[in-house]
Amino acid sequence: MYVLPDLPYSEDALAPFVSADTLRTHHGKHHKTYVDKTNELAAKAGLADRPLEDVVRQASRTGDKTLFNNAAQAWNHAFFWRSMRAPGGPQPNGELTRAIAESFDGLEGLKEAFVKEGVGHFASGWVWIVMTSDGLQVISTHDADDTLVREGLFPLLVCDLWEHAYYLDYKNDRKAFLERWFDNVANWDFAAAQLSASTGEGEGFRYPASE
């Protein structure tokens, strides 16, 4: 059984940038539903004993769209919770700062690219900061699609572009959500750990082990 991972902070920790109301519904209802569905469908597909990463890749290979959508959404949301931390936390430093400077000329440049990609993304999906062989890039994926099934990408951070991520707090103003998210709750320590893992230092994020 895949578990619904606990939030790595309290429900009100990200307010006012992400409200407790949003977080409670997003984690307790939306994410939980994806995990429940994955448990049901992975069992039927005979994959329930495999790490969630394998399930996502296997469902993509075999074209099992329903399993892929639910398993990838379960994974993406777990990665998204880790991509945030309470306001006032550390800014990028060290190797991450160097990578940002090299590819985006600094944090403002990265923010501009991130907000532009997220605002320009049509309908639901995810906006990612990823490491590639050409340095850092900002990309977006549609619906449940994620970086696990793309070659040559290592995800550092993700933000949810589905309306359920921001509608209660920002109504239809996705731009304001992305700007405030980037400035206040983006988890740069997590991004730095992922960046190290992309070069083989330490373990990258993995979905919590099944029960």
Nearest approach, Cβ of residue 85 and Fe ion (Å): 18
Closest residue to bound Fe ion by CB: 160
Among 102-110, 117-125, 159-167, 202-210, the segment contacting Fe ion (CB under 5 A): 159-167
Binding residues with Fe ion: total (CB under 5 A): 2
Euclidean distance between CA atoms 42 and 67, whole angstroms? 7
Among 13-21, 129-137, 148-156, 161-169, the segment contacting Fe ion (CB under 5 A): 161-169
Smaller CB distance to Fe ion: residue 78 or 156? Answer: 78
Based on its alpha-carbon atoms, the radius of gyration of the chain, rounded to whole angstroms, reads: 16
Of residues 162-181, those binding Fe ion (CB under 5 A)? 162
Nearest approach, Cβ of residue 100 and Fe ion (Å): 26
Contact call for residues 9 and 85 (beta carbons, < 8 A): yes
Smaller CB distance to Fe ion: residue 64 or 160? Answer: 160
Q: Is 146 in the site for Fe ion (CB under 5 A)?
A: no
Nearest approach, Cβ of residue 158 and Fe ion (Å): 10
**φ/ψ of residue 192, rounded to 5:** -65, -40
Smaller CB distance to Fe ion: residue 22 or 103? Answer: 22
Output the DSSP codes for 65-114: HHHHHHHHHHHHHHHHHHTB--TT-PPP-HHHHHHHHHHHSSHHHHHHHH
3-state secondary structure (DSSP) of residue 125: strand
Euclidean distance between CA atoms 126 and 160, whole angstroms? 5
Euclidean distance between CA atoms 105 and 97, whole angstroms? 10
Of 64, 117, 146, 160, which one interacts with Fe ion (CB under 5 A)? Answer: 160
Q: Is 126 in the site for Fe ion (CB under 5 A)?
A: no
Contact footprint for Fe ion (CB under 5 A): 160, 162
